[in-house]
Amino acid sequence: MARYLKKYWLIALLGALFMVGEVYVDLYQPRMMERIVNQGILGLGNNGVPDLSLVTSTGLRMILVVILGGTCGVMCGVLTNVFGQNLGNEVRKDCFERIMHFSFEQTDDFSAGSLITRITGDVTQVQNLAMQFTRGMVRCLMFLVGGSIALLSLDLSFKKVIMIAVPLIILEVGFIIWKTNPLFVLLQKRLDRVNSVIQENIAGVRVVKAFVQEKRETDRFNEANDALVQTQLRVLILISWMRPVMNIILNLATVAIIRIGADQVRAGLMAPGTIMAAVTYISQILNGMMMLAMIFQTLSRGAVSWKRLKEVLDTAPALKDGGKEAPEECGAVRFDHVNFHYPGNDEPVLKDISLDIRPGEFFAVIGSTGCGKSSLVQLIPRFYDASEGHVLVDGMDVKDYDLTVLRERISYVLQKSELFSTTIRDNILLSRPDASEEDVIRAAKTAQAHDFIMRQPQGYDTPVTEQGMSLSGGQRQRTAIARALLKNAKIFIFDDATSALDLKTEAALREELNRAMPDATIIMIAQRISSIMHADRIAVMDAGEIVGLGTHEELMNTCRVYRDIYESQLKGGVTYD
């Protein structure tokens, strides 16, 4: 926090000073009011004859003072806003940048949803905290302290009122905050429950209807809804105590002030106008208390939020650049006795893998889900780091590379096609923003995407909506492949990235790949044997180990696991010409 405060502390201080000015005027103004009433209207110094010129002159002065105070208030608003929002913005930008450089493991640790709430909700909380603190804290402390001093300087006999009213209000506010805070947590839980029932019923409408369970779902919803309403009501009712009770205390204090003041006036110790000023001061003091309660509320939320943001900011990127000079690019990948387990999970995912993938080779990896094939290729661009052993690209350990340089050399197509909500063209251009139109079209043609793109309403300029939901699964995969192909890389990794393509398209893609990039190294992971049976070499993985390596024919003869897969997909391998 100190780092951010350093930059803006002057603005914050100035803002606070202006606030002092504003509050000072607020506190001073009742005195002038008193003077107008006592001296002017009641004419106490003038044998009970109102003094109009005094009212007018004090009135004019008061207007001037009030304008000054107002200006201070506006300036204070300007400065605290500049302070708080810039501070929030800095934190937000830093967090985002930090997150961008997180390793996958770190992102997973936080979970995407939590990162999003942190950077949106928590930043706002901290921002509010910064603003409220500079503005509200000064204001209410001045109201409290200044108001008390002003009130007591009018007459010490008002002491009793403050001494009774202030603790009462502290007690009340404290009690309500103490009671409601745990309820807010419960409330969020109940709300989540209602939301998830709704969500399930909308998403699962076919199942609900097919099993004719509308009645049951309604009951389930009613239960969740009733629980929510009940909790919400409890919160609302607790909160609704706050203001009325505070008002009662405030107004009773006013009554007491008049009562005490009357005695003083009767005893000739006080002028009647003083009572009015005292009434104003007491309401300022008690309003200050109320504001203090609000500030504590923001403070406790803000502190929690700041803690959550600090967790993000204090997380150093897990991957360190090697920074060694990169060897010449040729497209070779080597695994040297690689062991791997996911962080925080001791179960080995890869066991002693050694593999040598040659430049220009079409290399395939096959195996059942969970056998470790995705984990294997994720080590190449350092999405994760090997636990033991080395992964080498073009002859150098990936850990020695500058991360950017390493990833420049590799084009990776993910299992889940992640498209952004811009146009199709921009989505493809993402891998190489300076590529020419011809390059984009060529990549799209190779990826078998050009035809469907041209059929879209605006061709390449068609916007992709909601994470690509406007496109079918196969179309999204082809767009992602086009993006990967546009990149100037020697190594292409397809991480089960053709699963949604029909076989004809997949075959055409394969053929085009061979033609367009004859010397690129292609590493392809697949579920279907038909996708990879033409590969130069196929590695068969089972439970983290390589159990077979060779061509399709070789593996059919030598590898039982491969044959099993083949047979399960072929169902007895019907021989039919």
Partner 1 sequence: MTEKYQSKTAERGFNRRPNRGAPVEKPKEGKQTFHRLMQYFSAERRHVLVLGAVVMTGVAASVAAPGFQSMAIDAVTQGSYDSLPRLLGFMTAGYLIYGLTSLCQGYLSASLSQKVIRRMRNDLFVHITALPVSAVDRHSHGDLMSRMTNDAENISNVISESLSSMFSGILTLIGTVGMMLWFSVPLTLLTCSTVVLTVAVTRFITKKMRVWFSKRQTLLGQLNGTIEEMIACSKTVTAYNMQERASEDFRTTADELTHAGIIADIISSSMGPLMNMLNNVSFVIVAVFGAWFALRGWISIGVISAFVIYSKQFSRPINEIAQLYGQIQTALAGAERIFAVLDEPAESTEGMTLPKLQESVIEFRHVNFAYVPEKPVIRDFSLKVDSGRQIALVGATGSGKTTIINLLLRFYEIDSGEILLNGIDIRKISTASLRDHIGIVLQDTVLFSDTVRNNLTYADPDITEEQLHIAAKQSNADKVIRHLPQKYDTVLTESGAGLSQGQRQLLAIGRAFVSNPDILILDEATSSVDTRTEKNIQQAMKELMKGRTSLIIAHRLSTIQDADMIVVMDHGEIKETGTHEELLKKKGIYHSLYMTQFAGRTI
What residues from 369 to 388 belong to the interface with partner 1 (CB under 8 A)? Answer: 369-370, 381, 383
Which CB sits closer to partner 1, 77 or 336? 77
The contact mask relative to partner 1 for 123-142 (x = CB under 8 A, - = no) is --------x-----------
Which CB sits closer to partner 1, 297 or 456? 297
- Shortest Å, Cβ 87 to partner 1: 10
Q: What does the block give as tokens for 65?
A: 């003072």
SS3 366: strand
One of 3, 45, 170, 196 touching partner 1 (CB under 8 A): 196
Cβ atoms of 27 and 284 closer than 8 Å: yes
**Looking at 147-155, 345-353, 368-376, 443-451, which segment touches partner 1 (CB under 8 A)?**
368-376
Q: Whole-angstrom Cα distance, residue 251 to residue 240? A: 18
SS3 459: helix
Q: Scan residues 305-334 and list those touching partner 1 (CB under 8 A).
A: none
Strand 388-393: give its sheet, edge to edge.
350-357, 333-340, 388-393, 396-397
Assess 171 for contact with partner 1 (CB under 8 A): no
Quickly list DSSP for 114-150: HHHHIIIIIHHHHHHHHHHIIIIIHHHHIIIIIHHHH
Which CB sits closer to partner 1, 21 or 359? 21
Which CB sits closer to partner 1, 189 or 337? 189
Assess 195 for contact with partner 1 (CB under 8 A): yes
Q: Whole-angstrom Cα distance, residue 388 to residue 239? A: 58
One of 11, 12, 14, 115 touching partner 1 (CB under 8 A): 115
Cβ atoms of 259 and 135 closer than 8 Å: no
User: By CB under 8 A, how many residues form the interface with partner 1?
Assistant: 167
Q: Whole-angstrom Cα distance, residue 163 to residue 241? A: 22
Q: Which amino acid is at 176?
A: I
Which CB sits closer to partner 1, 240 or 558? 240
- Shortest Å, Cβ 357 to partner 1: 18
Q: What does the block give as tokens for 167?
A: 């603790």
- Shortest Å, Cβ 307 to partner 1: 18
Assess 66 for contact with partner 1 (CB under 8 A): yes
Q: Whole-angstrom Cα distance, residue 126 to residue 554? A: 63
Cα angle 248, 252, 258; round to 5: 150
Q: What does the block give as tokens for 41?
A: 């209207």
Q: Whole-angstrom Cα distance, residue 155 to residue 258? A: 12
Q: Scan residues 30-59 and list those touching partner 1 (CB under 8 A).
A: 33, 36-37, 40-42, 49-52, 55-56, 59
**Residue 294, exposed/middle/buried by CB under 10 A (0-12, 13-18, 19+)?**
middle
- Shortest Å, Cβ 417 to partner 1: 9
One of 150, 154, 169, 276 touching partner 1 (CB under 8 A): 276
Assess 245 for contact with partner 1 (CB under 8 A): yes
- Shortest Å, Cβ 337 to partner 1: 26
Q: Scan residues 412-471 and list those touching partner 1 (CB under 8 A).
A: 412, 414, 418-421, 430-431, 433, 467
Assess 1 for contact with partner 1 (CB under 8 A): no
Strand 491-495 to 521-526 pairing: parallel
Assess 74 for contact with partner 1 (CB under 8 A): yes
- Shortest Å, Cβ 214 to partner 1: 4
